Structure formats: C-alpha cells, structure tokens
Chains A and B, each alone.
Chain A
C-alpha cells in the first residue's frame, strides 16, 4: 500500500515504511525488488495527533503487528521463543501486542485531548489468516518450507474480519448480525459525515441502516483474488449467511459449503446441490469479471484464441 502504488492520494500527511524503519524485508521470487514491510509508527502517530487534534481530521493507520513476519521483532527482543508455541499462540501474542501498542493508548489519548466524543473510531482488519485449518502449499518465495500463517484462500479464516465502530452517536455494545463487507466501509464513513456516496459508483453501501435495524438481511458478499502469483489459481467466492460458493477460474474447480451444518468449510457438497443453483451462482460471479473488474491476465484459452484471431486478421501474427 505504498505511495508509489497511489495509496497516498488525497492524504495531507503520509508516513510509510522505508528501508530504515521496516522490520521485515521481502524479496519475491523472480524479482530483484525488495519490499519493506512492517514499521512501528505509533509514536509518530501520537505526535501527529497532539499537533493536529484541534482541526477536523481523518486518519487511517494500518498496523502490521499481527501479520506474518512481525514475530521476528518479538523473537529478537526475546519476548517469545522459536518453536515454543503453536501457530495459534504466536498469532494471539501478536494480536495482544497490537492491542497494547495502539488501541488502548489511542482511547486514552483521545479522552485526554477531550475529543473522544467527537471522534468516530473504526477498528477492522483487511483479511484473516490460515493457521493450518485448510492445507495449502508453501509460498514460493519463502526460503523455508513454512506454510502458515498464509492467507490465500476464500475460506472464512482468511476472509472473515473484525469490524467495530465506536462513536458517531451509535449505541454501545450493539451487535449487528448478517453479512456486510469491507467495501461498505467507505460509504459508511461518508454517510457519518453527510457526504452522499451515490455519485462515486462504490461497490459497497452505507451500513448505518443495518446498524439501526441490528442486522443486514439477505446480503451476498463477493470476494476475489484474481492474481495468481501464489500458484493457487484465480479465485472468486460468494458468501451468504447460509452458504459459500468458491470458484477457481484457473483450475476450473468449484466448491460449495453449507455453513449452517459445516461452518469450518470442510465438506464440499458441490456435487450434491441442484445444477440450476450452480449455474445461477456462476452467473453471479461472472458479473464481476466484466466491466470495471480486470481479469488481471487470467483469461481462458478461448479468450486468447479470440484475441489471436483478431490480431491475425490485422496482420500481427504471421
């Protein structure tokens, strides 16, 4: 999410990981480029907040502490030891670290600056992680044969995220049931500050009505990972409260899980469901392969043939 990829657009202040501040270097297979990940930016943030809290602000902060790799910094400091805990326990340790480093301190700081009642705070994650629940191949660019944590599937452990909103006149301790998506975040934030979002053609919609009603009814959430670099294939999925349908475009495979009976998504019953239902689900996923969503180069042999046919007629393939 670096500036060079356009994420900094619209921000007055931008602080990102650099070679000097990162605690993780990643070199992807087949590339000379080194990516710097992970950065303890919390001190800079509190300094910024101190200087700028009198003006109206929007802050986005992204903690990397719970991501794979941050255990290096914990190991280095001797706070944890290698091979001592299970993957789940290491993950818990990292969540605890993130919670202590920022969340608790943030609430305290907002109260001290006397702006806690005027601030809407959203805590959420970009994705979950697979700690071994579903077997996956090792990541090709990792040196060692380490498989987990990894987040490359369409299963709930990778896609189900936390989303907690505080402030903005919302009731305390209310739970909103039903399916909502991270695409709904931006329209929700705009709704809070009174900016209509229709003209932006967002894929999500404001969650304020669902929050009021206490549930989001009958919604379907679409997810995708169409970039195939990790060798899993181009993935699409659709999830409702009752089921999940997953399609691998590269391999041509499909999965269907009845989440009421099988919440851990272990029993693929694609061959047991009605064929018409499968066709309907495929059509729903096809919509996302057209128009604004790029297939990212993962197109079928048939499409490639069609392209080549036209290029041949233009004299390009001789």
Chain B
C-alpha cells in the first residue's frame, strides 16, 4: 500500500454507527465500506477527552506520562514522538488538517508535518468554532491535487480530523429533518440549549436530553456524508485503490448515562468505547476483530502499514495483522479537571480494562469501581466489594496513580 489516511471524528460514539449495531441508519456510507474493512468491536480510548486521548492517537503514549503540570497543560512534551515525525524522516509526505484548538501548533502538535492546517490563523464561527468537515475536505482536495501534481510519486500520510459532531450540536436542517422532522428549533434556540443545559450539565428534563441526543445523531448523519465526499475525492483523484484509511474517534459523548452530559473526566463506555475501522482497498470481504485494543495502537499500525520498523518509544502494538495482536489489558487516564479546580490540587482518574472487567479509580473521592461489562453493559452495578478479581484489578492501576505529579515535562 502506498498512502495512509487517518480520519478522526471528534466525539463520535461507537454505538451510533450502523455497523456497530445502531438501527437508525445514521451512517449508511461508513456501513457500506465494511466489505473492504476490518472493524474492531472492542476498541478503547486511552482518555475521555481530546487532550487525554490524542497523545495515544498520534504519539502512542499515555496522557499523564508526560503531562506538563507547571505550565499550559495542553503542551505536547518533547519526550513524545509524533507518528508524523517518524514518517517525515523516511521521506513520506505528511499533512494534517484539523481545527481543534487543543491541538494547535503552539502546543507542539505541528511537529513532523510538511503541511499543518489547524485553523489558528483563520476566522471561524464564534459559536461553532471550527472548520466544517466539507470545508476541510476542500482544503484537503487542494493539497492532494498539488501533491499529486508534483509528480514525485511520493507516498503520503494524511491526518484529517472532523469537529462537527462536537457540541454545540448545530447540524444542517436537512439532517435534523432526517432524524426528526418535528424538531422546530432555530440556530439561536440550539445555542441557548447549549448554554442553559449542556454547559450547566442540567439533566433535570429528560425530554431535553433526548432532544440533544437527536441533534447529536443528526450531526452523525451529516459527518457520514462528509466521509462519503472524502472517499469520492480520493476516487476522483484515482488514489482510493492505493490508500489505507483508518477511521476512529478520540472519545464518545454522554447523554445522561452516568448523570452527566458532554465528555468530562469519566471512564464509562459511552466515552471510552470508540469506533475503529481500517479500510483496505485490496481486502475481499469484511473482517471483524473482537480483541481488546486501544487507540494507543494506532501509530504503530500506521508505521507498519508503511512497511517501516517498529518505533521503540511507541507504547502500543500494531493492530495489523490482527492475529498477531496480543491478548492484553487496556489502560486509560485523565486529569479530573473539575475536581482539581475545586480542590486546588491535581486529581486523576484511571481505568484498567481486562476482558469484560473494567476497574475505575477516582482520586478526588478515593473511590474504586468495578464492572462486568458482559452482564452489566450500562456500568451501574459496582462489584468492587464483592468480586474476587477486585484486588488483582486494583493492583494493575495502583502503580499508575499519581504519575502526573511524578513526571513533569
């Protein structure tokens, strides 16, 4: 294979994709490429929000390992290696197109990219502060056309990140109608919902939460169309047949499953379960992998797809070929930002998942939870005091607690 695309969709829950079991038909395009894809059914994010997750997706390292405490917490430590740096050194053309302010050049995310677009120099909508997926596609088209026209036949690695699903949930009217034509909300009314309900994490009116979920789902439909457009572009440029496309998200989103909204520092499935699909044009027929994998495995997979030697500092393993991927547990960690601010000192949240068991530790109230996801997928029945596996699961997390304070930049 010649080129690799990493397509990340901010805040995309796993369970809203048709191919992962949703019956609403939100993602006809993503579902349609399954016959040439491998789909990972139990992919976990290493963190429940962008800053905690992207170190895994682009540097194959955990968030708290090198988090910078003393200065801007978003800074990307120089001790992390971006997959772009590895590939650029090998003469592969690298390009990034995103508009998430947590991943701006000034934090260091621009290392290793020949082309880096992050919308920091551009004016964006005040209320929906990102470059819309369709606009990003246009920019990518320009870049791809000029890259291909340079005639050097150089392979490329492209990272494309769509922000559209992220709150404040303002999908196009067509997509709202597809979800529920009875929704009668102006854009101003949607922003008011965002301010009054989402920002305040006000879940008192379940009807409103359901409405927000519908807006979110309408956005998923819209992004599926953007992905369709992107694939169409590659086909039109005649490179779809030699491009592998990795599709995933950084984290999910909560609609009151555990008493909240949006994506705070929690480790439950609605935030940690992510879609992970690798489209390989040469593949004949769909493949499904049920192994427990993590987005920390994405950089090693990309390096492997280019036929390069494994990178020593990457902490994940290549997802391909899936039969070589080991059976092992997954970790995730985050800073409990709200509790840290309230308590005036840094508090962490951790999880460890092994098989169907997930242990969660919350430093703010020193609490442990343990769930059996097979019998209790909603994670409501805490087994920490009754399960015989509790001590072993705790033991896995203990050494990792407090490392944000130990490590520094």
Residues of A within 8 A of B (CB): 4-6, 9, 30-32, 199-201, 290-292, 294-297, 299, 303, 306-307, 309-311, 313-315, 318
B89 shortest CB reach to chain A, Å: 7
A306: contacting residue among B75, B114, B120, B406, CB under 8 A = B120
Nearest CB in chain A: distance from B214 CB, A: 18
The 6 closest A-B pairs by CB, nearest first: A310-B129, A310-B101, A313-B129, A299-B106, A297-B75, A294-B108
- Contact A314:B166 (CB < 8 A) given known A297-B71, A297-B72: yes
- Given the interface pairs A200-B91, A314-B129, A318-B199, the reply to whether A294 lies near B111 with Cβ below 8 Å is yes
Taking the nearest CB of chain A, how far is it from the CB of B322, in angstroms? 28
Contacts of B166 in A (CB 8 A): 314
Tell me the smallest distance from the CB of B144 to a CB of chain A, in Å: 18
Q: Which residues of A contact B128 (CB under 8 A)?
A: 313
Q: Which of B157-199 contact A (CB under 8 A)?
A: 166-168, 194, 198-199
Query: Contact between A6 and B81 (Cβ–Cβ < 8 Å)?
Result: yes
Chain B contacts of A31 at CB under 8 A? Answer: 408
* Complex Cα spacing A46 to B125, Å: 63
CB proximity of B193 to chain A, nearest CB, Å: 12
The distance from the CB of B14 to the nearest CB of chain A, in whole angstroms, is: 21
Cα distance A9–B308 in the bound complex, in angstroms? 13
A-B residue pairs in contact (CB < 8 Å), sample of 5: A4-B313, A5-B79, A291-B110, A292-B113, A306-B120
Do residues B91 and A199 form an inter-chain contact, with CB atoms below 8 A? yes
CB of A297 within 8 A of CB of B106, answer: yes
How many chain B residues have a CB neighbour from A under 8 Å?
42
Q: Which of A290, A297, A303 lies in contact with B108, CB distance below 8 A?
A: A297
Q: Is B342 an interface residue (CB 8 A)?
A: no
Asked if B374 lies at the interface with its beta carbon under 8 angstroms from chain A, I say: no
Q: Judge whether A294 and B106 touch: CB under 8 Å.
A: yes
Interface membership of B29, Cβ < 8 A: no
A201 touches B114 (CB 8 A): yes
CB atoms of B194 and A315 under 8 A apart:
yes
Choice from B78, B101, B116, B313 contacting A307 with Cβ under 8 Å: B101
Q: Which residue of A lies closest to B191 (CB)?
A: A313
Closest Cβ–Cβ distance, residue B403 to chain A (whole Å): 12
Report A-chain residues with C-beta under 8 Å of the C-beta of B108: 294, 296-297
- Kindly name the residue among B71, B101, B107, B262 whose own CB sees the greatest number of chain A CB atoms within 10 A: B101
Q: What total of A-B pairs shows CB separation below 8 Å?
A: 75
Contacts of B194 in A (CB 8 A): 315
A253 to chain B, nearest CB (A): 21
The residue in A5, A6, A291 that gathers the most chain B C-beta atoms within 10 A of its C-beta is: A6
Q: Is B127 an interface residue (CB 8 A)?
A: yes
In the complex the two chains form, is B198's CB within 8 Å of A315's CB?
A: yes
- Give the complex CA separation of A292 and B106 in angstroms: 11
Residues of A within 8 A of B328 (CB): none
The A interface is mostly helix, strand or loop, or mixed, namely loop
Main secondary structure of the interface of B (DSSP, over half): loop
B152–A199 touching, CB < 8 Å:
yes
The verdict on A292 contacting B408 (CB below 8 Å), with A311-B102, A315-B199 known, is no
User: Which residues of chain A come closer than 8 Å to B199, judged between CB atoms?
Assistant: 315, 318
**Inside 8 A of B89's CB, which chain A residues have their CB?**
9
Contact B70 A30 (CB under 8 A): yes
What 7 additional pairs, Cβ within 8 angstroms, besides A6-B81, A311-B102?
A: A200-B91, A294-B105, A294-B108, A313-B129, A315-B167, A315-B168, A315-B198
**Other-chain residue from B68, B102, B110, B124 in contact with A294 (beta carbon distance below 8 A):** B110
Known interface pairs A307-B101, A307-B104, A313-B168. Does A292 touch B75 (Cβ–Cβ under 8 Å)?
no
**A313 contacts B91, C-beta separation under 8 Å:** no
Q: Tell me whether B111 and A310 are in contact (CB under 8 A).
A: no
User: With the chains together, A31 CA to B77 CA distance in Å?
Assistant: 14
Q: Which residues of B contact A310 (CB under 8 A)?
A: 101, 124, 129-130
Q: Contact at B106–A309, with CB atoms within 8 Å?
A: no
B205 within 8 A of A: no
A229 (CB) vs chain B CBs: closest residue: B409
A252 to B108, CA, bound (A): 22
Contact between B105 and A295 (Cβ–Cβ < 8 Å)?
yes
Residue of A nearest to B114 (CB): A201
User: Which B residues touch A315, using CB under 8 A?
Assistant: 167-168, 194, 198-199, 262
When each residue 271-313 of chain B gets 1 if its CB lies under 8 Å from chain A and 0 otherwise, what string results? 0000000000000000000000000000000000000000001
Report Cα–Cα, A199/B92, bound state, in Å. 10
Minimum distance in angstroms from B171 CB to a CB of chain A? 16
Provide the bound-state CA to CA distance between A72 and B111, in Å.
38
Measured CA separation A318–B195 after assembly (Å): 9
Give the distance to chain A from B122, nearest Cβ to Cβ, in Å.
11
Which A residues lie within 8 Å of B102 (CB)?
311
List which B71-116 residues lie within 8 A (CB) of chain A.
Answer: 71-72, 75, 78-79, 81, 89, 91, 101-102, 104-108, 110-111, 113-114, 116
User: Shortest CB–CB separation between residue B63 and chain A, in angstroms?
Assistant: 16
Give the CA-CA distance A5 to B79 in the complex, in Å: 6
Query: Which of B68, B75, B113, B126 is A313 in contact with, Cβ under 8 Å?
Result: B126
Chain A nearest Cβ from B114, distance in angstroms: 7
For B105, B166, B199, which residue has the most chain A Cβ atoms within 10 angstroms?
B105
